[in-house]
Amino acid sequence: MQLLKRHWLIWLFLGLCLSTLVALFVVYDRRSPFSEFMRGLGTVQVDRWTAAELDAVCIRLEPALGTPAIWADAALPVATKAVPGASVRQVVLTSFRDTCNGGDPRLAWAVVMQWAATADNTASPALPTHPPRAIVIVDATSGDVIASQADQP
């Protein structure tokens, strides 16, 4: 006990160092729940895609700012042409930002699609499987495909 009383500043310093290391892990490690929460803050949620999954493929969807020149009904044929055989689940107007290449956000339609479940997907009822999915980002001013990501059916 006497040793602890005499060296309390050293123990305090070691405790602060350990607390700092833990705080750095919580904030900066991509596996940390806090880090996942912070990456998802300010993003638009779309069906079947998390902010972390979209961030892994350089897609960040933020709330839309502005009025589109191309409406959703014109963006759907472009998306179905980019991902043939899939059905549309959701269409959302967003501001698209490419997190890998940078640049200004662009007004875009995020079209979430999926393929029908096959016998291969439902072979094992014990394992919850989801049908393959896709997301197509269509520019809301020109009608061109900006980006797309798909799980192969």
> Does 83 share its domain with 8?
no
Locate tokens 């896709």: which residue? Answer: 134
> Do both 73 and 36 map to the same domain?
no
Specify whether 113 is located in the same domain as 146.
Answer: yes
d(CA 3, CA 126): 58
Residues 21 and 48 in one domain: no
Based on the fold, state whether residues 29 and 52 are members of the same structural domain: no
Write the DSSP symbol of residue 102. Answer: -
Token couple for 151: 């799980």
In the chain, the number of structural domains is: 2
149: which residues sit within 8 A by CB, 6+ positions away?
54, 57, 59, 134, 135
Q: Does one domain contain both 86 and 16? A: no
> Tell me: the pLDDT tens digits for 31-70?
777 776 776 777 888 988 988 889 889 999 999 989 999 9
The CATH number of the domain holding residue 72 is 3.10.450.40
Note whether 14 and 79 are same-domain residues: no
Listed as ranges, residues in the chain with pLDDT below 70 are 1-5, 30, 36, 39, 118-128, 153
CA distance 82 to 88: 12
Q: How much is the pLDDT for 153?
A: 64
Mean pLDDT of the residues in the chain: 85
Q: Six-digit token pair at 144?
A: 């061109």
Q: Do residue 118 and residue 94 come from a single domain?
A: yes
Alpha-carbon distance of 108 to 31, in angstroms, equals 29
Same domain, residue pair 81 and 141 = yes
- Residue 30: the pLDDT is 66
Supply the range of the domain harboring residue 117: 42-150
User: By CB neighbour count within 10 A (0-12 exposed, 13-18 middle, 19+ buried), where does 24 fall?
Assistant: exposed
pLDDT value for 7 = 80
Whether 36 and 76 map to the same domain: the answer is: no
Regarding whether 113 and 67 lie in a shared domain, the answer is yes
Q: How many residues are given for the chain?
A: 153
pLDDT at 51: 85
Confidence (pLDDT) at 135: 96
Residues 60 and 35 in one domain: no
Hey, what are 113's tokens? 């699609």
Fill in the DSSP letter of residue 52: H
pLDDT at 1: 57
